[in-house]
Structure 1
Amino acid sequence: MKMEIALVILVIAVIFIIRSMKVVPQQNAWVVERLGKYHGSLTPGLNFLIPFIDRVAYKHSLKEIPLDVPSQVCITRDNTQLQVDGILYFQVTDPMRASYGSSNYIVAVTQLAQTSLRSVIGKLELDKTFEERDIINAQVVAAIDEAALNWGVKVLRYEIKDLTPPKEILHAMQSQITAEREKRALIAASEGRRQEQINIATGEREAFIARSEGEKLAAINNAQGEASAITAVAEANARAIEVVAAAIRQPGGEMAVQLKVAEKAVEAYSRVAADSTTTLIVPSNMTEVSALVASAMKMVQSTSKP
Structure 2
Amino acid sequence: MGNFLLIPLIFVGLVILFSSFFTVKQQTAAIIERFGRFNSIRQSGLQMKIPLIDRIVARVGLKIQQLDVIVETKTLDDVFVKLKVSVQYVVIKSKVYEAFYKLEYPHDQITSYVFDVVRAEVPKMKLDDVFVKKDDIAIAVKSELQDAMLEYGYDIIKTLVTDIDPDAQVKEAMNRINASEREKIAAQFEGDAARILIVEKAKAEAESKRLQGQGIADQRREIARGLEESVEVLNKVGINSQEASALIVVTQHYDTLQSIGEETNTNLILLPNSPQAGSDMLNNMVASFTASNMIGESMKKTNVPKPKK
TM-score normalised by length of structure 2: 0.62
Equivalence for 2:13: 13
Distance 1:230 1:93, change over 3 A: farther
Equivalence for 1:72: 71
List aligned pairs for 1:93-112, cutoff 5 A: 93-94=92-93, 95-112=96-113
The CA distance in 2 between the partners of 1:146 and 1:225, in whole Å, is 104
- Secondary structure of residue in 2 paired with 1:50: coil
- Secondary structure of residue in 2 paired with 1:68: strand
Equivalence for 1:45: 45
- Secondary structure of residue in 2 paired with 1:18: helix
Quote how far apart the aligned CAs of 1:127 are: 1.6
The number of residue pairs the alignment matches comes to 236
Equivalence for 1:123: 124
Quote how far apart the aligned CAs of 1:74 are: 0.8
Q: Report the more deviating stretch, 7-16 or 189-198.
A: 7-16
CA contact (8 A) 1:67 1:89 kept: yes
Q: Report the more deviating stretch, 207-216 or 152-161.
A: 207-216
Quote how far apart the aligned CAs of 1:23 are: 0.6
The CA distance in 2 between the partners of 1:225 and 1:41, in whole Å, is 120
The CA distance in 1 between the partners of 2:206 and 2:161, in whole Å, is 59
Identity of counterpart residues, as a percentage?
23
Query: 1:82-109 CA distances to partner (integer Å, 9 max, x unpaired)?
Result: 1333433322233223113312222212
Quote how far apart the aligned CAs of 1:66 are: 2.7
* Counterpart amino acid of residue 32 in structure 2: V
Equivalence for 2:271: none
What RMSD in Å do the two structures reach over aligned CA positions?
Answer: 3.4
Distance 1:79 1:229, change over 3 A: same
Quote how far apart the aligned CAs of 1:224 are: 8.0
Distance 1:97 1:184, change over 3 A: same
The CA distance in 2 between the partners of 1:179 and 1:83, in whole Å, is 26
Equivalence for 2:80: 81
- Secondary structure of residue in 1 paired with 2:78: coil
Q: Report the more deviating stretch, 135-144 or 186-195.
A: 135-144
Larger radius of gyration between Structure 1 and Structure 2 = 1
* Counterpart amino acid of residue 130 in structure 1: F
TM-score normalised by length of structure 1: 0.62
Equivalence for 1:291: none
Are 2:160 and 1:174 aligned?
no
- Secondary structure of residue in 1 paired with 2:51: coil
Distance 1:219 1:62, change over 3 A: farther
